[in-house]
């Protein structure tokens, strides 16, 4: 009896520690959900091919709060085109990216999506994100970069590019899973039957 009484506080302590760990895990902030690539395809244009891709994601509360406080978010879409070679590393004729900047203007209560000199305004965050989620008519391949009859692997992904944020936020983003928002590479084959006309 003396032994069981002696070890009873240790058992109670173990149960309490397990309960505390479970509570902390439940209270921990949820990390960012990944971006999913719903579809991606290449469409011929007059001088090559355009990428059309749709992504799906939601901003968690931390990212939404950051935007509403005036911190811009940068969404980078990356595209690569590779061709397998048995005698050497894969050829990489195309490697290109584009970045869209999402910001909020408190004075006008307007969300803005900008790229280079182009800027669009939206009344809601959902409307602004709808534009970011749909990459349309992005010229990614020139005719001179590919050969007719060859088969290539096209790859596309999107990520929240924390490297473009102001320096103080970059440090926080590295250590905070709430800022880890990215998709896996979506890969599909692309065979050049003829040059785009």
What is the distance between the alpha carbons of residues 49 and 192, in angstroms, rounded to a whole number?
A: 10
What is the distance between the alpha carbons of residues 114 and 101, in angstroms, rounded to a whole number?
A: 5
Structural domain containing residue 187: 32-191
Looking at residue 175, its pLDDT comes to 59
Residues 47-102 pLDDT 10s: 999 999 999 999 999 899 999 999 999 999 999 999 988 788 888 999 999 999 99
Asked if residue 131 belongs to a domain, the reply is yes
What is the distance between the alpha carbons of residues 33 and 184, in angstroms, rounded to a whole number?
A: 12
**pLDDT of 130 higher than 80:** yes
Going from the C-alpha of 166 to that of each of 54, 73, 161, 171, the distances in angstroms are 28, 10, 11, 9
Count of structural domains within the chain: 1
Q: Alpha-carbon Rg of the chain, whole angstroms?
A: 24
Q: Residues 166-171: what's their mean pLDDT?
A: 64
**pLDDT of 174 higher than 60:** no
Asked if residue 151 belongs to a domain, the reply is yes
Q: Residues 165-179: what's their mean pLDDT?
A: 66
**pLDDT of 104 higher than 60:** yes
Looking at residue 86, its pLDDT comes to 77
Asked if residue 11 belongs to a domain, the reply is no
Asked if residue 196 belongs to a domain, the reply is no
**pLDDT of 171 higher than 60:** no
Asked if residue 101 belongs to a domain, the reply is yes
Asked if residue 54 belongs to a domain, the reply is yes
Asked if residue 49 belongs to a domain, the reply is yes
Look at the block and give the residue holding tokens 């990216």: 97
Calculate the CA 186 to chain-centre distance. 12
Q: Give the DSSP letter of residue 5.
A: H
Asked if residue 76 belongs to a domain, the reply is yes
């Amino acid at each position: 009896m003396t032994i069981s009484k002696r070890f009873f506080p240790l058992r109670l302590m173990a149960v309490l520690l397990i309960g505390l760990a479970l509570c902390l895990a439940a209270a921990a902030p949820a990390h960012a959900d990944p971006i999913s690539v719903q579809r991606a395809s290449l469409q011929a244009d007059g001088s090559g091919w355009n990428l059309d891709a749709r992504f799906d994601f939601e901003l968690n509360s931390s990212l939404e709060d950051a935007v509403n406080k005036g911190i811009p978010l940068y969404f980078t879409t990356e595209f690569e085109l590779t061709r397998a070679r048995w005698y050497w590393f894969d050829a990489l004729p195309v490697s290109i990216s584009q970045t869209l900047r999402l910001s909020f203007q408190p004075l006008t209560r307007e969300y803005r999506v900008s790229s280079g000199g182009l800027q669009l305004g939206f009344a809601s965050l959902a409307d602004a994100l709808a534009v970011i989620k749909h990459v349309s008519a992005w010229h990614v391949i020139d005719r001179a970069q590919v050969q007719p009859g060859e088969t290539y692997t096209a790859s596309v992904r999107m990520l929240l590019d924390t490297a473009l944020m102001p320096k103080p936020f970059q440090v926080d983003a590295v250590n905070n899973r709430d800022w880890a928002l990215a998709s896996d590479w979506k890969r599909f084959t692309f065979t050049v039957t003829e040059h785009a006309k």
